[in-house]
Amino acid sequence: MSIVLGANQYGKAENRVVRIYRDGARHELRDVTVSTALRGDFAAAHLHGDQSKVLPTDTQKNTCYAFAKSHGLREIETYAITLGRHFVDTVAPVTGARIAVDEYAWDRVPVGGVGHDHTWTRRGSEVRTTVVTVDAERAHVVSGLKDLVLLKSTGSEFAGFLVDEYTTLQETHDRIMSTSLVANWTFVDDVDVNWDESWADVRRILLEQFAVVHSLALQQTLWEMGKAVLEAHPEVAEISMSAPNRHHFVVDLGPFGLENPNEVFYAADRPYGLIEATVTRED
Amino acid sequence: MSIVLGANQYGKAENRVVRIYRDGARHELRDVTVSTALRGDFAAAHLHGDQSKVLPTDTQKNTCYAFAKSHGLREIETYAITLGRHFVDTVAPVTGARIAVDEYAWDRVPVGGVGHDHTWTRRGSEVRTTVVTVDAERAHVVSGLKDLVLLKSTGSEFAGFLVDEYTTLQETHDRIMSTSLVANWTFVDDVDVNWDESWADVRRILLEQFAVVHSLALQQTLWEMGKAVLEAHPEVAEISMSAPNRHHFVVDLGPFGLENPNEVFYAADRPYGLIEATVTRED
Amino acid sequence: MSIVLGANQYGKAENRVVRIYRDGARHELRDVTVSTALRGDFAAAHLHGDQSKVLPTDTQKNTCYAFAKSHGLREIETYAITLGRHFVDTVAPVTGARIAVDEYAWDRVPVGGVGHDHTWTRRGSEVRTTVVTVDAERAHVVSGLKDLVLLKSTGSEFAGFLVDEYTTLQETHDRIMSTSLVANWTFVDDVDVNWDESWADVRRILLEQFAVVHSLALQQTLWEMGKAVLEAHPEVAEISMSAPNRHHFVVDLGPFGLENPNEVFYAADRPYGLIEATVTRED
Amino acid sequence: MSIVLGANQYGKAENRVVRIYRDGARHELRDVTVSTALRGDFAAAHLHGDQSKVLPTDTQKNTCYAFAKSHGLREIETYAITLGRHFVDTVAPVTGARIAVDEYAWDRVPVGGVGHDHTWTRRGSEVRTTVVTVDAERAHVVSGLKDLVLLKSTGSEFAGFLVDEYTTLQETHDRIMSTSLVANWTFVDDVDVNWDESWADVRRILLEQFAVVHSLALQQTLWEMGKAVLEAHPEVAEISMSAPNRHHFVVDLGPFGLENPNEVFYAADRPYGLIEATVTRED
């Protein structure tokens, strides 16, 4: 039995690219973080330190910036596909590329009620994401979002659960439910997608379902969110969600002669529940 | 020369308090982090470990939660003043209290174009702040904000600066200017303030001035922002701002045969410029 | 084509467990963060909100703390196997469990040159890790470490690399090489391992190889590190490493009339190279 | 009453400087983050955008790197004094400078039991700090440390405290006491200090006192720590400490039929107690 090189990849992580469109006085702004990773036959680099097939990570960084100019940076999925395709098609040793993009949203600063031409404020912690994997034949696109913080102050229960000798939790029929949602969805093959429109509508559905579903558990809410996305978006093949249950505990104010009918809560940091589920399609 | 106890204080930091108002189907939400610190004659606790004058930090925490119910939690300045006054007036050894509150904003999730009754999403990274210092006579209030991330894609210059032997920077007449603003403002004595309205309008002015001032340096922008606040708000005695200059560097695309007329930028993390200024009133 | 539930799991993440052994005056300390995730037939919880097969995440938390007492908390691999086995064997709907443990090291505070009986200081940012996956038949153990920050001030080159139209990097035969290593290694089946001894020696080898290998690229260093581990440890089946290349750039001091023969560096935050490789065995 | 410019300063924050000494095969390493701030007559820059008296923050950064070569970087206090003196003495509009330095410690990687010549691992989260303020006459030096995480598993009580209507805490005569210490100490005027030796011995005393004092409260421990420093170090004028009380709660294992005599703890993140005290000298 011998020792061999297994899976490997390398690239430049977290390139901070800001692209301004200055066509006239009213500018447009794109603010992204891009990470590249290349796959191929890099055995010589590992085994012998021979870099002759290794395109430097510095070059990958340069390419991210150059493409933001030469190919533009509008929809992050298109930008990522273009980058990945470039590496696979033009760099001989490269057989696959993984391009991940995080996008930060900005709002125009209102001046006298009107959004300013060239001044913005960061919208929030929420991040739009894509991960594109390109090989010789195709690009596999995953669109998503992360750090979307949500809270319901009622409409959430947790009862009828399994009880064992380590169970002390009490049932509740009215609690705060809060999460910082991560969602990623893949697309069916050979589909033509308007990435911006599709993304915005998937996000709208996720938010609306979180709001309107009367929740018997976070699992059920995630299922309903995912199902609604797949029902409305035939271009989406599958959606995966990871939802920390950010616990809000009702504070016992009894010792101070006060009632607390779900009005005052302690928001805990750790530990947190973590619910993960995929909703998919089946023939 | 003897060794003595100097300045000291103690309290409970970062109590996470969430307050829901459930008067009818349409809930209201307040989400804050509160830190308390008490001052007084605590020499015995330090010198002899005698805790008889020490109100536990756990008690201070309990009080934060109890007051969110009994006194309510609407305007953070009012909440902080009430807490501080309580400690000074009812706990004998306490002669001063410092109450700091950070507030996180939430937006109602839109469902069919209408904000939902009991579901929200966190608005962003920006935090509204107050620090209230209470003693036997009065409460000193500082209102503020932090982590307000701003960016101008033009309308900013930096030229004509002092040059010494370590200066290599080139002048620029068009650059990105970006900051993550921290601002704190104090109030004139014995004034009656509508905290929410005052805060919102100070914030509006800061944003508008950042947008409309043609900037010859971040110092000048801060001065104009502060001056506009003081001109419009007689209740504000003084405003201090701390503004990191989040550098965005124009990427040299020349080696790749591309021009880059301020379109593609590298957003740097560190180091950053840090500009701090106070604008005040003088007789 | 119908919409169905795909892969799913749930649990309690980041339980902070501290275990003190007080057998005599000289205490022992274990400080860990434990995350549990359970797998099984939870379709009813998702589709109908029926929690009757769902052991609460709160119960999983309780179990982590109870087992730290009843089963002890010494080697994190043993603790994780015991927890996972418990969930799979005693909770009927559970068919699989994933237990992840991070351990933080502490050193005794020296008093007069001798380690104190019951006072410690945190050793550093480095974390020892394990991820154990348990099903009906067996436990699959991955041991590892993360946040091990390393730096070589010489003995590292990068030259002879592939050049394309976006390449501007210059070759170097002497540079700083620095990383924050993540390494995870799996074990061959049915092996009896002394977890503490094995972990300490794998770590020793990783550090020594990083030091003594003259590096032609980070890829080559990782390969040599992994190969040395597999050669010395027949119980290790495979090792994967993820190594950010924390760039240290030589500062050009020429404009100030100073030479800089690799003495003064700017340590960059982002972007960073990211090199990932697995070293494994083959029949 | 007019609106005027108040206190202001500007500089370059968080310059990451790494200095290697390569005198022979056995290298030395210094790893610091430096922040500069300049004070003086900068009214024209604020009021009129006139930069003619403003030395760019970019120049300040260059100076930090250049001085690491030309003046060296050994003791951070000396490095900071030299930088501050330079700005005040050679840049005409500058009347004061504040230089803050954080230093990260590294240990040599052991190879065959011997520390390697040019390979290190980061020691831990603890940071050595200095803040030097220079004006026309003198340099005011504050040395310190931060993020020094400590824990005692016994030898700590909290009892006999003040009780009011919001007090629910139970007394304890045996608890875990843990903190992440921040300490800063100033020096008496016109003293000649061996900065490295002084710093190491102050740190030793702080650690030892934390270990050996039987604590009736964190306040008492801080007092004893500070007093011991001042007794042993006549060059130290005053020491201030800020100590979060990182709560470790005994977990109630009674529901599971288990005793828990201070063996299993839940380590909480927030809220935390925060104890701040200064120990000083008096004529």
Domain coordinates of chain D in residue numbers? 15-137, 147-280
- pTM for this prediction: 0.97
Q: How far apart are the first and last CA of chain B?
A: 43
Q: Please tell me the distance from the alpha carbon of residue D202 to that of residue B129, in angstroms, as a whole number.
A: 36
Question: What residues form DSSP beta bridges with D280?
Answer: B4, D238
What pLDDT tens digit does each residue of chain A (283 aa) get?
Answer: 799 999 999 999 999 999 999 999 999 999 999 999 999 999 999 999 999 999 999 999 999 999 999 999 999 999 999 999 999 999 999 999 999 999 999 999 999 999 999 999 999 889 999 999 999 999 999 999 999 999 999 999 999 999 999 999 999 999 999 999 999 999 998 789 999 999 999 999 999 999 999 999 999 999 999 999 999 999 999 999 999 999 999 999 999 999 999 999 999 999 999 999 999 999 7
In one-letter notation, the amino acid at residue C112 is G
Catalytic residue among C27, C33, C53, C57: C57
In one-letter notation, the amino acid at residue B91 is V
Query: In the numeric block, which tokens belong to residue B223?
Result: 């001065």
Q: How far is CA A91 from CA A53, A59, C161, C276, in A?
A: 9, 11, 12, 19
Cβ of D253 within 8 Å of Cβ of C65? The answer is: yes
Calculate how close chain A gets to D101, using CA atoms only, in Å.
27
Nearest 5°: the CA angle D218, D219, D221 is 60
* Tally of CA atoms within 13 A in the half-sphere of B178 that contains its CB: 22
**Nearest CB to C253 within list D17, D69, D262:** D69
- 3 state SS of D58: helix
D-proximal residues of C, 238-277, CB under 8 Å: 248, 251, 253, 255-256, 258-269
Establish if D2 touches chain A: CB-CB under 8 angstroms.
no
Sign for the CA dihedral angle at A260, A262, A267, A271 comes to positive
Nearest to D102 by CA among D14, D220, D223: D14
Which are the contacts of B197, defined by CB distance < 8 A and separation ≥ 6? none
Which pairs with CB-CB distance under 8 Å and at least 24 residues apart come from D170-177?
A: D174/D262, D175/D248, D175/D250, D175/D262, D176/C18, D176/C20, D176/D151, D176/D152, D176/D248, D176/D262, D176/D265, D177/D151, D177/D152, D177/D215, D177/D218, D177/D221, D177/D245
Establish if C153 touches chain A: CB-CB under 8 angstroms.
no
- The confidence band for D1, taking pLDDT boundaries of 50, 70 and 90, is confident
Which architecture, in CATH terms, is A147-280? Roll (3.10)
Residue B124 has a pLDDT of 83
Q: Please tell me the distance from the alpha carbon of residue A171 to that of residue A163, in angstroms, as a whole number.
A: 11
Q: Which parts of chain B register pLDDT below 50?
A: none
Residue D190 has a pLDDT of 79
Residue D126 has a pLDDT of 93
Best residue of D2, D12, D51, D67 to probe chain B, by most B CBs closer than 10 Å: D51
In one-letter notation, the amino acid at residue D154 is T
Establish if D69 touches chain B: CB-CB under 8 angstroms.
no
Average model confidence (pLDDT) for chain B?
Answer: 97
Cβ of C168 within 8 Å of Cβ of B269? The answer is: no
CB D80, CB D103: distance < 8 Å: no
Q: Is the pLDDT of residue D245 over 90?
A: yes
Cβ of B219 within 8 Å of Cβ of D161? The answer is: no
Q: Please tell me the distance from the alpha carbon of residue C82 to that of residue C84, in angstroms, as a whole number.
A: 6
β-strand pairing of B139-152 with B177-187: antiparallel
Cβ of C162 within 8 Å of Cβ of A54? The answer is: yes
Q: Is the pLDDT of residue D22 over 90?
A: yes
User: In chain D, which residue ranges form alpha helices assigned H by DSSP?
Assistant: 43-48, 57-70, 76-90, 195-212, 218-232
Establish if B188 touches chain A: CB-CB under 8 angstroms.
no
Which are the contacts of C87, defined by CB distance < 8 A and separation ≥ 6? C36, C38, C55, C60, C63, C94, C97, C134
Establish if B164 touches chain C: CB-CB under 8 angstroms.
no
CB atoms within 10 A of CB C136: 9
- 3 state SS of B58: helix
Q: What is the pLDDT of residues D173-223, one digit of tens each?
A: 999 999 999 999 999 987 899 999 999 999 999 999 999 999 999 999 999
C-proximal residues of A, 77-116, CB under 8 Å: 90-91, 93
Q: What is the pLDDT of residues B200-240, one digit of tens each?
A: 999 999 999 999 999 999 999 999 999 999 999 999 999 99
**Nearest CB to B6 within list D50, D93, D238:** D238
Residue B158 has a pLDDT of 97
Residue numbers in B near A27 (CB within 8 A)? 153-154
Cβ of A13 within 8 Å of Cβ of C215? The answer is: no
What pLDDT tens digit does each residue of chain C (283 aa) get?
Answer: 799 999 999 999 999 999 999 999 999 999 999 999 999 999 999 999 999 999 999 999 999 999 999 999 999 999 999 999 999 999 999 999 999 999 999 999 999 999 999 999 999 889 999 999 999 999 999 999 999 999 999 999 999 999 999 999 999 999 999 999 999 999 998 789 999 999 999 999 999 999 999 999 999 999 999 999 999 999 999 999 999 999 999 999 999 999 999 999 999 999 999 999 999 999 7
Cβ of A168 within 8 Å of Cβ of D255? The answer is: yes
From the candidate CATH numbers 3.10.270.10, 3.40.50.2300, 1.10.150.130, 3.40.50.12160, the one assigned to the domain spanning B15-137: 3.10.270.10
**Nearest CB to A211 within list B22, B31, B116:** B116
In the residue annotation, B133 being an active-site residue is answered as: no
Average model confidence (pLDDT) for chain D?
Answer: 97
Establish if A163 touches chain B: CB-CB under 8 angstroms.
no
Q: How far is CA B29 from CA A267, B20, B66, B201, in A?
A: 13, 5, 17, 21
Q: Please tell me the distance from the alpha carbon of residue D239 to that of residue B4, in angstroms, as a whole number.
A: 11
Residue numbers in C near B165 (CB within 8 A)? 256
